[in-house]
Structure 1
Amino acid sequence: MPVTCTFCDTPDGVAVAAATLIAAQINSAVGLSGECVVALAGGSTPTATYRALRSLDIDWSRVHFVQTDERVIPEAGERSAALIEAALGLDRQELRTRWHPVPVCGDGARAAVAYAGRLADVRPGGVPDIAILGLGTDGHTASIFSQNLHSDPGATVVSTSYHGEQRVSLGLDYLRAIPTRVLLATGTGKQAALTAVLSPVTSAPRVPAAIVLGQDGHVFADAAARPERG
């Protein structure tokens, strides 16, 4: 199945359309196995989708939430987890025990090891059902950057660095193995990156988001981010 692209007029349209697909995939996973694990990215575009998800018909008691990546910084309020919690209301009592943020402990390497253990508890021997991904202007997604694309790709969780800041990210192969991968992009600043993501597979080198998205992922973007027709 080829990449499915949905282009909306506005960022709000992207949030609603993406949330509708994600809710359907959550309900499908719950129907098949009794639960669903969703990996969540930070950033303004994904969090708008999380707010849209809150109004949809989902059995939240069957859903576990993990992170695609996190910044290893001491200020808890500036981490992606804080944005995600606020957008989805994960501080609610009924959801708190099903929310598994990255334990920011010490340096990135220690945090990566700790989170790999947490993920093994949440989904033993497997991967999340859904990954919700943002897109960087340089074509990165999660915290997989071109400069560390091929460093330990088979690891469940990796420690990376971006502009001198330590980060923790789900590993490349782990992300690629997640059955439903949803990439979100809004704004003119993402147009060049999305163009690179959707370029032919024969183009080289491929940006990280294109590799993670694969040939069967889902893209939701607004008119401003839509690649220009060549």
Structure 2
Amino acid sequence: MRHAVVETLPDSEAVALRMADLLIRGVEAKTDGPFRVALSGGSTPKRLFEILAKPSVAKLLPWDRIEIFYGDERHVPETHADSNHAVSNAVLISQVPIPAANVHPMPTSATVAEDAISYQRTLQQAYGATILEPGRPLFDLVMLGLGTDGHTASLFPGEPVLSEKDAWVSTAAPKTAPHERVTLTYPAIHSSALVVFLVTGASKVEMLRRLREGDPSIPSGNVTSEGRIIILADRAATGDVA
């Protein structure tokens, strides 16, 4: 994480706009197949979705070449207010001409373990293999947040999923947050061309410092990527109030 590029932006709106720019540029540059992106939940991603759904922005993207996946999901019905997919679907997916077959929500209708296995199969089908190959990333872009406890996706402190070395998708049952979760694992996140952390708000100052240092005692500090890692942070999160 010490090699991550940190971009300090004025506020959360600027972070969302910069993320939109990175996404658009990434899709434009990908000419040899679909652009696979793993979305995250939270207020800043929601603002990003609103930006991307604007007709003036949406028309810039070849939606038929974009495949949407998720970094994690609360194990709740798809229409539940706490569902990451429910938010992105309402704000973005239903507003743009992306083919339904290109949208891959994490399933939540069986047991959490069964749904994790099912989503791994979905990823393997998209990837065209059952083993992740160095130099051939699963994702073109993985968006991640940063919790005040250092978690990212649903990789929470103390969860067994932190030790997963093989599975691409696993489960979590955090003691400090509601709902069981389905989440990408470190190996799946690592198989990416670009990982972008979106970090906003004064409550993130300490954890952002530890993330930038690559502190291995927090889950986010152990994230790696085959490609680049960029941290988009607003001034409140960096502690820069000037």
Report the TM-score when normalising by structure 1: 0.88
Residues 94 and 198 of structure 1, relative CA distance in 2, 3 Å threshold: closer
Q: Which amino acid aligns with 1:2?
A: H
Q: For structure 1, which segment, 182-191 or 145-154, has the greater mean C-alpha deviation from structure 2 after superposition?
A: 145-154
Distance in 2 between residues matched to 1:118 and 1:38, nearest whole Å: 14
Residues 221 and 213 of structure 1, relative CA distance in 2, 3 Å threshold: farther
**Per the alignment, in what secondary structure is the counterpart of residue 150 of structure 2?**
coil
Residues 28 and 206 of structure 1, relative CA distance in 2, 3 Å threshold: farther
1:26-81 per-position Cα deviation (integer Å, ceiling 9, x unaligned):
2212x2x1321111111111221222233152211100001110001236232111
Q: What is the aligned length?
A: 224
Residue 22 of structure 1 corresponds to 23
* Structure 1 stretches of 4+ moved >6 Å: none
Distance in 1 between residues matched to 2:124 and 2:233, nearest whole Å: 32
**Per the alignment, in what secondary structure is the counterpart of residue 23 of structure 2?**
helix
Residue 143 of structure 1 corresponds to 154
Q: Which amino acid aligns with 2:69?
A: V
Residue 64 of structure 1 corresponds to 67
Q: Which amino acid aligns with 1:83?
A: V
Residue 182 of structure 2 corresponds to 168
Residue 181 of structure 1 corresponds to 195
Report 1:2-13 matches (<5 A): 2-13=3-14
8 Å contact from structure 2 (residues 78, 85) kept in 1: no
Residue 80 of structure 2 corresponds to 77
Report 1:204-215 matches (<5 A): 205-213=216-224
Residues 116 and 91 of structure 1, relative CA distance in 2, 3 Å threshold: farther
Q: How far has the Cα of 1:186 moved from its partner?
A: 0.8
Report the TM-score when normalising by structure 2: 0.84
2:126 equivalent to 1:112: no
Q: Which runs of 5+ in 2 are unaligned?
A: 133-137
Distance in 1 between residues matched to 2:154 and 2:121, nearest whole Å: 19
- Percent sequence identity over matched residues? 28
**Per the alignment, in what secondary structure is the counterpart of residue 146 of structure 2?**
coil
> In angstroms, what is the RMSD of aligned CA positions?
2.3
Q: Which amino acid aligns with 2:146?
A: L
Report 1:92-107 matches (<5 A): 92=96, 94-107=98-111
Matching residue within 218, 222, 230 for 2:234: 222
Distance in 1 between residues matched to 2:169 and 2:10, nearest whole Å: 35
2:190 equivalent to 1:190: no
Residue 91 of structure 2 corresponds to 87
Distance in 2 between residues matched to 1:84 and 1:153, nearest whole Å: 29
1:98-131 per-position Cα deviation (integer Å, ceiling 9, x unaligned):
1110111222101101111111122222512110
Q: For structure 1, which segment, 106-115 or 206-215, has the greater mean C-alpha deviation from structure 2 after superposition?
A: 206-215
